[in-house]
Amino acid sequence: MTYLFELNHPKHYYQFKYVMQMLQDKGHTVHVVARDKDVLLDVLRQENVPFRVFGNHYKGMIKKVLGTIPILFHYAGIVRELKPDVVVSKASFYGCLLARLFGKKSIIFPDSEVVKVTNRYVVPLATLVVTPATFGLDYGNKHRRIKGFFEDCYLAPSVFTPDEQVVAAAGIQRPYAIFRFVGWTANHDVGNKGFTLEQIRRMVSLVDSRMHVYVSSERQLPDDLLERRLPIEAAKMHHALAFADLYLGDSQTMATEAALLGTPAIRSNSFVGEHDMTNFKVLEKEYGLLRNIADFEDVLAALDDMSKQSQKQQWQQRRQSYFRQVGDANTIIADLLENIN
């Protein structure tokens, strides 16, 4: 069979990295299309992955709407040329729509119940929907649930071994904290927000005397924060996260990654609260691997406590317990792709 994997974020590549390799090892053909967004193309080049760009990332709702037509037109040409049997994506309207138009199958992997575009427009088009077992919505007969989280695909001990030399070679000084801030320009981010510059400065000042603070940001930052930029390639970020003593950010993805790597992690943004996504609630309440905090003063209190004395050993033990409970996500997903009907 021929599979077309659509990637819109570095996480999507890592999630499907080993699945794609498994399919190729079984004799299937795999193609990759990617959106020119954030550092995704840099990651693919660093990993020597052949790919085609199917569209740009537009900021602002008007530009996003106007950009839909050229993206669909170009993407359709790629589908027509490559003739995939199955289009695979995180939860792409483009991929599912074109799969339907060309008589192909599509499979999506949503893990955030709050994304209205996915629930309203993408799920009805998809042939198969795969989510974590804890996912709070039910999509009926086309819905399959798997144990654990999709980040297991690239962070499980069976596929990822953190390399201390990668961190040392980058010049990262220990002990250290990683602060991550996103741009809030994605479709699912509309109407939501993370930390302000004033809040970021207060958090940096609080931790700075206890450990080195490195900042990773999609947003443009002022010079005083740019000086703290994390000096590592995007493709090696997980090594840096694994050896960090503390993670804090308004990112969804990196908070989960830090948690599953056994790094004490704090996540705060406007999603946090009663109606937050199930995966973040489960990571906190069932596994103790993440702290989700809405109020900024509570964030400062938690940050103060967690930076005073290392909690790394506790988080590492919790990580080991978590992975003992979940199966091999890559094998499960590869089997689903091979047997899609």
Residue-wise pLDDT tens digits, 10-32: 889 999 999 999 999 999 999 99
> Is the Cβ–Cβ distance between 183 and 218 less than 8 Å?
yes
Strand 105-108 to 86-89 pairing: parallel
Residue 192 has pLDDT above 80, yes or no: no
Which residues share a beta bridge with 3?
30, 86
Higher pLDDT, 259 or 220: 259
> Is the Cβ–Cβ distance between 337 and 88 less than 8 Å?
yes
> Is the Cβ–Cβ distance between 95 and 106 less than 8 Å?
yes
Is residue 191 very low, low, confident or very high in pLDDT (cuts 50, 70, 90)?
low
Residue-wise pLDDT tens digits, 162-187: 999 999 999 999 999 999 998 755 55
Residue-wise pLDDT tens digits, 135-157: 999 999 999 999 999 999 999 99
Which pLDDT score is estimated for 261?
Answer: 98
Residue 341 has pLDDT above 90, yes or no: no
Q: For the CA atoms of 232, 236, 242, 244, what is the dihedral angle to 10 degrees? A: 0
Q: Which CATH superfamily is domain 2-148+328-338 in?
A: Glycogen Phosphorylase B; (3.40.50.2000)
**Percent of the chain, pLDDT > 70?**
94
Angstrom CA distances, 197 to 158, 251, 259, 302, stand at 39, 15, 24, 19
Which pLDDT score is estimated for 62?
Answer: 63
Which pLDDT score is estimated for 38?
Answer: 73
What are the extents of the domains in the chain? 2-148+328-338, 164-325
Report the distance separating Cα 176 and Cα 214, nearest Å.
Answer: 7
Which pLDDT score is estimated for 112?
Answer: 87
Report the distance separating Cα 107 and Cα 89, nearest Å.
Answer: 7
> Is the Cβ–Cβ distance between 232 and 170 less than 8 Å?
yes
Residue-wise pLDDT tens digits, 49-70: 999 999 876 565 666 666 688 8
Residue-wise pLDDT tens digits, 273-297: 988 989 999 999 999 999 999 999 9
Cα 216 → chain centroid: 14
Domain 164-325, CATH number (from 3.40.50.880, 3.30.70.2860, 3.40.50.2000, 1.10.1740.10): 3.40.50.2000
**Percent of the chain, pLDDT > 90?**
80
Q: Which two tokens stand for residue 333?
A: 């997903």
Residue-wise pLDDT tens digits, 84-139: 999 999 999 999 999 999 999 999 999 989 888 999 999 999 999 999 999 999 99
